[in-house]
A and B are shown apart, each in its own frame.
Chain A
Amino acid sequence: MRTRTPASVVRIGVVVIYLFLLVGWPMGRVVQETFFTGENYLTMALADPSLRNAVWVTLAAAGCAVVFNTVLGVTLGILLVRYQFPGKRLLSALADLPTSVSPIVVGLALLLAYGPVHGVLGAPLAEAGVQLIFSFPGIVLAVTFVSLPLVLRAVIPVLQEIGTDQETAAQSLGASGGQVLLRITLPSIRWAVAYGVVLTLARAVGEFGAVLVVSGGIVNQTETATIAVQRLHQGFETGQAYAIGFLLALVAVAALVIVTILRPHERND
């Protein structure tokens, strides 16, 4: 720990003010508008069945995205770190694409591929009675797409750092491939996975652009929380818009807090 000098006080001050102006104060305003402007808009919003439905749609879709992306992220992470195969770099780059492409483009791309009218795969599926776009599966598709590499990117550096010694040791002690995975590899990366899950959840819950395109935003059916915020805000029901906004922020904050509380118990090295 270095001693505090006037210069370090200035440096800390600048950072604190910057973060307050950019993050703390605007978020505080949302809380203020939700609870301290005469009405408790949160209870009001949650009393509205269509808003309750929107929150559930968001949480359910985010849950699906977490499951899919955790399985994919861990599998692909092990594949990319532990194995050599042709096209490895291409695969790695492809997995990063979803976070770098604008969500609205993601939405349009999904619409083209799976839409009931023009969709290459969507049209035959629609004829068979399966509707992906403008329904819940489409929303899951969109939020899974945009949060795809988050678990993967959290897991890769940890897999690289722990190396293969522990896995080799377990093998020499008689463990099969599956036993090594379950008893050594997965427990070693569990905090990285948890961190990736939190990021995935936050990203999936907050997604707006891609979901807007593919869900159709039908109130009481395919409307998500973020789309509801937009609808309420444009319809001058700003109090309830802030309340749902507060809920969305709360999910993200709660997830981060849980990881922060659990993390110090992890013993590294």
Chain B
Amino acid sequence: MGIEISGLSKHYGDFAALEDITLSVPSGGLTALLGPSGSGKTTLLRILGGQETPDAGTVHIDGRDVTRVPAQQRNIGFVFQHYAAFKHMSVAKNVAFGLEIRKLPKERIRQRVEELLQLVQLAQHGHRMPSQLSGGQRQRMALARALAIDPSVLLLDEPFGALDAKVRKELRDWLRRLHDDVHVTSVFVTHDQEEALEVADTIVVVNEGRIEQVGTPDEIYDHPATDFVFHFIGEATRLGEVLLRPHDVLITAEGEQHPVSTARAGTISRWNRVGFEIRLEVTLDEAVQQGPVHVQLTRTEAQGLGIGPGDRVQVAPHPSAELRPAGSH
């Protein structure tokens, strides 16, 4: 069950937005479609929602072929980046919309709206107009509205994209907890790898209309299937013949015993502190690569190592680090 996508293609003129996508989204999970802008992830979401029709391929939701079913008959909840609040209706009316369309009895609608407003922590705000709510509240209202119709699938298009950093983080945590309670099959689109890693059960990395990798956040981060995923999902740096994460570089002061015997010597040429984190660049003595090695440490680690700007150091990959051969990069 869940969503079964097979052989899906979509072209806009000469541009291939999606090419032969086959994907299975398990029932009850929270899946992220992650990719850069223009990768086709939004097109894929819109095809699932029925706002776009594919050129080829099929979409099955809970075993039913919905490829040619219009949006209004799919029973899918859709949440938009810019909330799409019905501005001329109160919050309660917004949430009730799908139920009124389904002509449920008035009393039943009232109860359900109350439950949902409770669920999204807007119980006190039912009589307000959307313009009187903050961005985060509006997005929770939009979620309640989408959940009201008991959707078979919940689709979210960059749901936190329009919020400021702090609210975005809160709403992310909140969505994760909500999903743990409600268990509706959910797919959300994001270009923010941190958001995907934090919220999703499963991540689908999309690039240039194709799927690069499908996996849990740990699998995607620790064992990226392609160079694209490796670069997109986190930062990368070069050390000699290999690529690795900057936090997987082991660094010691010169003169100390380095745990890896093949460590290379160099000088700290740049030192940049961002909050608790220190990002530094080490220029190697040997000319084995263009540019410096990037290293990430916490402030505490740096203090423990007793290193500072301009110091002589030795660097090597951590023994358990995920290494990739440095090709043309």
A259 to chain B, nearest CB (A): 17
Residues of A within 8 A of B85 (CB): 166
Residues of B within 8 A of A171 (CB): 50, 70-72
- Bits for A151-173, please: 1 = Cβ < 8 Å to B, else 0: 00000000000100110111111
Contact B149 A174 (CB under 8 A): yes
Q: List A154-213 residues whose CB lies under 8 Å from chain B.
A: 162, 165-166, 168-176, 179, 183-184, 187-188, 190
Complex CA–CA separation, A268 to B87 (angstroms):
8
Complex CA–CA separation, A184 to B87 (angstroms):
9
Contact A170 B86 (CB under 8 A): yes
Complex CA–CA separation, A188 to B130 (angstroms):
13
Contact A173 B98 (CB under 8 A): yes
Residues of A within 8 A of B74 (CB): 172
A171 to chain B, nearest CB (A): 5
Contact A172 B78 (CB under 8 A): yes
Residues of B within 8 A of A169 (CB): 78, 80, 84, 86, 142, 145
**A173 interface neighbour in B50, B87, B101, Cβ under 8 Å:** B101
Closest to B151 in A: A172
Residues of B within 8 A of A269 (CB): 87, 131
Given A165-B80, A165-B82, A168-B71, A173 and B149 touching (CB < 8 A)?
A: yes
Q: Is A267 engaged at the interface, CB distance under 8 Å to the other chain? A: yes
Contact B87 A172 (CB under 8 A): no
- Bits for B115-150, please: 1 = Cβ < 8 Å to A, else 0: 000000000000001011000000000100110110
Residues of A within 8 A of B49 (CB): 168, 172
Contact B82 A172 (CB under 8 A): no
Closest to B101 in A: A174
Closest to B71 in A: A171
Given A179-B101, A267-B129, A267-B131, A172 and B86 touching (CB < 8 A)?
A: no
- How many residue-residue contacts, CB under 8 A, span A and B? 70
Contact B84 A165 (CB under 8 A): yes
User: How many residues belonging to A are interface residues under a CB distance threshold of 8 Å?
Assistant: 21
Contact A174 B131 (CB under 8 A): no
Contact B72 A175 (CB under 8 A): yes
Closest to A268 in B: B131
Q: Is B27 engaged at the interface, CB distance under 8 Å to the other chain? A: no
Complex CA–CA separation, A66 to B85 (angstroms):
31
Residues of B within 8 A of A183 (CB): 97
Q: Is B51 engaged at the interface, CB distance under 8 Å to the other chain? A: yes
Complex CA–CA separation, A166 to B70 (angstroms):
17
A174 to chain B, nearest CB (A): 5
Complex CA–CA separation, A162 to B83 (angstroms):
12
Contact A174 B98 (CB under 8 A): yes
Contact A174 B78 (CB under 8 A): no
Complex CA–CA separation, A36 to B16 (angstroms):
76
B132 to chain A, nearest CB (A): 8
Complex CA–CA separation, A170 to B77 (angstroms):
10
Complex CA–CA separation, A190 to B84 (angstroms):
18
Q: List B50-107 residues whose CB lies under 8 Å from chain A.
A: 50-51, 70-78, 80, 82-88, 97-98, 101-102
What 6 A-B pairs are tightest by C-beta distance, nearest first? A173-B98, A165-B84, A172-B78, A169-B84, A187-B88, A174-B101
Query: Could you name 11 residue pairs across A and B whose Cβ atoms are closer than 8 Å?
Result: A168-B51, A168-B84, A169-B78, A169-B86, A172-B49, A173-B72, A174-B98, A174-B102, A175-B72, A175-B97, A267-B132
